[in-house]
Chain A
Amino acid sequence: MKKEYLTFVQRLEDLVERKEIELTIRDLTPGQRKYDAKVVKAVLSGSPEGLPDGDILWVRSWIGILYPDPWGIKILGEVGEYLSGKPHGETLGVD
């Protein structure tokens, strides 16, 4: 049984197929821990069929609109619980 995850992207083009990338995903397994987040290293495919030994990745836009077709995701490992960076870095980084 494939597991299902969720990620949010600023632009759909940020998701690259067949290349190792880091992203934050949320676990959609029903129960008390649904939506738990982790930062993972993974390979993606534009459809679950493209990664037969992978899981399902649902994608939402940066304002939360669900793209209708899920992607495939093969998790290679957990990178950690968080990312390095300065709070409000995005605001401070824009003039």
Chain B
Amino acid sequence: MGFKDLREFIDALDKKGELVRIKEEVDWDLEAGAISRKAYELEGPAVLFEKVKDYPQGFRIFGGSLGTFRRVAIAMGLSPDVSVKEIYAEFERREASPIKPVIIETGPCKENKLLGDEVDLYVLPAPYIHDGDGGRYMGTWDVVISKDPETGWQNWGMYRFMIHNKRFLVGFPRYHSHLGMVLHKKYIPRKEPMPIAVVIGANPLDHMVATTPYGIGVNEAEFSGALAQEPVQLVKCETSDLLVPANAEIIIEGEILPDKVASEGPFGEYPGYRTEGIRMGILCQVKAITFRTSPILTMISLGVPPDDSSIAASLTAGIAIKRRLKKHNIPITDVYAPPEGVTHLIVVGVKRGGAEIARKIGEILTARRADINKIIVVDEDVDPFDFKGVIHALATKCHPIRGIIVEEVEAGKANPITPCYTAEERRAQRGGLAIFDATWPPEWKKETDVPVKSSFEVIYPQNLKEKVMRKWQEYGFKKEVK
């Protein structure tokens, strides 16, 4: 069973030695961001800032919810010591059985309400995270909920939102995001504002599923329930019919304006760089703020991996990609999106490789948008999770000319925060895709063309391998091998 709320999860982290509580006053202006960033880079514990400068006692900031796979395992109720591959497998297993959310009358997120003229975003300790950011980011580790007005579908996504002034947020959901598509197809043509709710400090699994690229019409709340193995409790907003997690710390209700903008960013983003510059962001007029007493504002001091974003996205993007490729009948063995690849680089294992399959994988994964710009395809003798094996395959099996497939990505589809793109490419969201085919060409004959791998597994007879394994410790080796 999952955690009731963020507070229960924080207590669990504390018990498992995965939390530092900082009682000394810390400045929301850079200091909290700097401490959290250093903790990520040391793969250290999550951090709860218990006294924030300029704010009353009890108004807290929390960074690093899922900054390591150990904490993802804890959030899922697993042993912190399980392998990454086991976490992927358990995520996939649970995800296959969605659990519908339940709607309740009220919840802790309604303990305090600021409505209409009372709205003031500065009552909450939003951090100024990196030196040189465009402003104070209220929404980093958030869940942004929006609705398709025709179908009623409520979508969860994770999009950044910064404070513009006391009653406006300005954000950067991309044009090709689900929120962006619904905004442009369903609200802007009617010149209608789009209601949204920015949820901060929900159960960590709610945030994790918000990073998952589920399809249109899919209810992410059902998948958060699946991961927690119990239904998510939702409650209706004060100013719209959007449904939000009842136990969340903070809910900011607002409307995206169809004909108004404000400058947004820049912001140090998940690829590990502050790449894209200031631009006209999506403006959200805040209608209500509701929050728990002694609220905890969740934050990611985003940057070089690992952090909550690169860890969560490794899992959610990796599994979503595997699902999509299977749907298109690609003979997948497994998919791994290493945190260090920041969803720019993924590894796809296939039963049968070659240029045709590699090209098809590229086409499928860039059909709607192209966040990924490098794909390594490996044969089934390589475990995509074994990065040493992947590098070895890339070094030895990828032909430097025929093994690298390069495609252009049309304007509007590429990821504007990809660091290697020029400023012009980023602005136009134009880019490219490189596929590294580290598989043997399928037309190569096993008996004459495919080089023989000199590994223990491949190059020795089965009976000898069994003998060696059986007698391993008798030979004098201390550790048992499997």
Contacts and interface: CB of A to CB of B under 8 A. Distances in A.
A81 B164 CA distance: 9
B168 A8 contact: no
Interface in B296-318: none
Interface stretch (A24-32, A41-49, A69-77): A24-32
A62 B277 contact: yes
Contacts of B344: none
A1 interface: no
Interface of B: 29, 54-55, 122, 128, 130-136, 163-166, 168, 174-175, 180, 183-184, 188, 256-263, 266, 274-283, 411-412, 416, 427-429
A8 B283 CA distance: 18
Contacts of B282: 87-88
Interface in A75-94: 81-92, 94
B119 to A, nearest CB: 13
A60 B132 contact: yes
A81 B168 CA distance: 9
A2 to B, nearest CB: 20
Contacts of A26: 135
A86 B412 contact: no
Contacts of A65: 132
B263 A37 contact: yes
Interface residues of A, number: 34
Contact of A64 (B29, B133, B259, B416): B133
Nearest to B164: A37
A8 B134 contact: yes
Interface in A13-51: 24, 26, 31-39
A26 B29 CA distance: 14
Contact of A38 (B54, B165, B275): B165
Given A86-B188, A87-B183, A94-B411, A66 B259 contact: no
Given A35-B128, A60-B132, A88 B262 contact: no
B261 A86 contact: yes
Contact of A37 (B29, B135, B258, B427): B135
B397 to A, nearest CB: 38
A66 B132 contact: yes
| SS of A interface (majority) | loop
B428 A83 contact: no
Contacts of A8: 134, 263, 266, 277-278
B170 to A, nearest CB: 8
Nearest to A95: B411
Contact of B262 (A24, A34, A89): A24
Contact of A90 (B130, B135, B427): B427
B165 A83 contact: no
Nearest to A23: B263
B429 A63 contact: no
Contacts of A37: 135, 164-165, 262-263
Contacts of B131: 64
Contacts of B266: 8, 62-64
Nearest to A85: B261
A34 B29 contact: yes
A26 B411 CA distance: 32
B10 to A, nearest CB: 25
B152 to A, nearest CB: 22
Contacts of B281: 87
A65 B134 CA distance: 11
B260 A82 contact: yes
16 contacts: A31-B54, A32-B122, A35-B128, A35-B136, A37-B263, A39-B262, A64-B130, A64-B266, A83-B261, A87-B180, A87-B280, A87-B282, A89-B261, A91-B429, A94-B411, A94-B427
A32 B54 contact: yes
Given A31-B54, A64-B274, A94-B427, A83 B136 contact: no
B163 A35 contact: yes
Counting from the closest, the 9 A-B pairs by CB-CB distance are A62-B277, A64-B132, A85-B261, A94-B428, A8-B278, A88-B175, A87-B282, A82-B262, A82-B260
A81 B130 CA distance: 24
Contact of B277 (A24, A33, A36, A63): A63
B260 A91 contact: no
B26 to A, nearest CB: 15
A82 B279 contact: no
A3 B128 CA distance: 20
A85 B259 contact: yes
Given A36-B165, A39-B262, 13 more contacts: A24-B263, A31-B54, A62-B266, A63-B277, A81-B165, A81-B168, A83-B262, A85-B260, A85-B280, A86-B188, A87-B183, A87-B184, A91-B429
Contact of A86 (B29, B259, B274): B259
A32 B278 CA distance: 23
Contacts of A62: 266, 277-278
A91 B122 contact: no
B134 A91 contact: no
A82 B283 contact: yes
B135 A87 contact: no
